[in-house]
Chains A and B, each alone.
Chain A
Amino acid sequence: MDADEQQLLIATLGDLAARHDGDALTDALDRFGWIDLLRNHPSVAVAALFEAQGRSGSWSSALHDVMARQFATTDAAGAAGAVSMPATSVVLPRPGQSVAASMGDDRRVELDGVLLGARPNADSFVAAATDGDGSPYIVRFPRPALSLEPQHGLDPDLAVMRVCARGGGEVVADGSAAASWWTATVAFGRRALCHQLCGVSEAMLDLAHTHAQERRQFGRPIGSFQAVRHRLAEAHVALNGARATAEMVWEAGDEPLASMTAKLVCGRAAAVVAAHAQQVLAGVGFTAEHPYHHGMKRAVVLDKILGSADELALLVGRELVARGDAPRLVEL
């Protein structure tokens, strides 16, 4: 894909994500050929769509497609016929957990996870599980085995479901195959969420930036005060560091540390931008009618998905200590 095609794609997906939301955006993406685009140009497709969803405050089922794609492109998964796109949704672990399911001694799998924007017509749900020894499995559930319950939470506009099952799952992979599928799948999910967090951050910063130029106090725009200017500059630095990291991580290959670190950088940046934007927007940013709070709430919820910045900081640090090294991830 050349630079012009890429710009056109960014504009088109940006327009779709601005005009549609939820299942309507999923439908619009399907009509646009999103699944083929994802298969052929994953890094460009994911960056463009998730940045746009972040900026517009919209959501779709694309996170499932991105993560399911990773299952589907693994040879073993293809051979087992385990995953078909786009009918498969991936059950995410609840915040603070590394997998969504546990396997008992009787091999029965209990599922308690989260779905973020699942396709309404999805008929296959995959989740990672561990048994009492910590051994990994990938388990597939048919829809009738699941109980689904909407979770409104902090950000009711985001379609979050709690998904539970007591048995009824079929193990489709175990051992090192299961571990490597899940690692790769989580890595792809994190890459997508990095871009979405950057998009959300940009939207929040834009609101604060506009306000700082228009709002006048003491006879001048508040953006002319150094205290305000420096907050916006700090937010801009955080966003640009995060965006560069989100883009670089696509070149880091299979290294799981890369997507962990990138999600840490992007989650932290969103919190920095949110805090500075809120303070610059002051009273009006605290109202329901001003759009700031949508971005702030979305950023907080997305940070919790697939590892919050705080959890990841600990995991990344533990990994550095285990390796006795701080790897470069990518070369110049």
Chain B
Amino acid sequence: MEQLLNNIGQNMFVLFGLLAVGGAGILIFSKSAVHSVIGFLFSMICVAGCFLSLQAEFLGVAQLLVYAGGIVVLFLFVVMLVELTKYQEKGIFQTQTKFAIPLVGLGLLVFAAIFRGTLFGSSAPEALTLQQGLVGATENLGNAQAVSRGLFANFLLPFEILSVILLVALVGAIVLAKSERV
């Protein structure tokens, strides 16, 4: 128990990560679209927990706001809008499945081999550990302030480009979803 508590950051991260993978599994394997969205919501909340246990507090909260608050609601709206019950899916797996499953298995094997060679093999470097502090974040400068300094000092141009992309996406979504008769 004491050992468990000593390594609480790591254990929390692994717990949230495995729960996120489980939610992703629900997302893929459930037949009803609403259940898929619920699995997605669960997975996103757990990823936010992962961010928090990596000491990225601002990003964790932003993840909760953007995904659990915005994107999941958007998905639920579309699920209600498109009336999936009218079209009975023959099964969740369709024609491409018999090619897709071996492909996914092959990818898993290749990456497992790479991981075994680089991270866990005999020639592996000593286990990397994350540094405790952040360079920008001193005692009286929180995580959000450090992130905003990094964002506006080093990524100002990408930030402005992103704002234009968001505007274009807004206009594009309205044009695409507008009914043709109007």
Please say whether chains A and B are actual partners in one complex.
no
Write the residues of chain A forming the contact surface with B, with a CB cutoff of 8 angstroms.
none
